[in-house]
């Protein structure tokens, strides 16, 4: 059973889409193992997006993700990472397949409504950034 981190990003929060987006994952058989709303501070944002440090868009990315509260969730299921990536769609909403979250709700490549871990290894690291072990539930 794989787990993945999902973040409902500021643009989706501002448009009150958190419940709609989470329900898409649940409708596809992914189980909610953890959930919280938080305001990401600069330190957490820099650790989360460390792979992009030094890139031209890094500061804009940090400013964006810290602009409003987000919803962080841990979803689990068979091949969760792969399934979540498919449900989300391509990073650029203009290139995402019809019916995906980013195609339906994304505004542009940065304001694309949702983040999901890109690998099992990344998911393990990202989940630890946002959740303590006792905040993740088996039921």
Reply yes or no on whether 39 is catalytic.
Answer: no
Number of Cβ within a 10 Å radius of residue 30: 23
* Catalytic residue chosen out of the listed positions 39, 48, 52, 115: 115
Cβ neighbors of 26 (< 8 A, separation 6 or more) are 32
The full DSSP string for 87-129 is: HH--SSGGGSPTTSHHHHH--SSS--SEEE-SSHHHHHHHHHH
Active site residues: 115
């Amino acid at each position: 059973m794989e787990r993945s981190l999902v973040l409902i990003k500021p643009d989706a929060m501002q448009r009150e889409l958190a419940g709609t987006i989470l329900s898409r994952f649940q409708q596809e058989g992914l189980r909610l193992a953890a959930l919280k709303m938080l305001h990401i501070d600069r330190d957490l944002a820099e650790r989360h997006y460390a792979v992009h440090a030094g890139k031209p868009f890094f500061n804009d990315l940090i400013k964006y993700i810290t602009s409003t509260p987000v919803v962080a969730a841990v979803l689990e299921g068979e091949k969760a990472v792969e399934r979540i990536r498919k449900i989300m769609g391509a990073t650029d909403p203009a290139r995402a397949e019809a019916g995906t979250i980013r195609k339906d709700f994304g505004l542009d490549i940065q304001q694309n409504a949702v983040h999901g871990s890109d690998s099992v290894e990344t998911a393990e690291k990202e989940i630890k950034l946002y959740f303590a072990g006792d905040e993740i539930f088996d039921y």
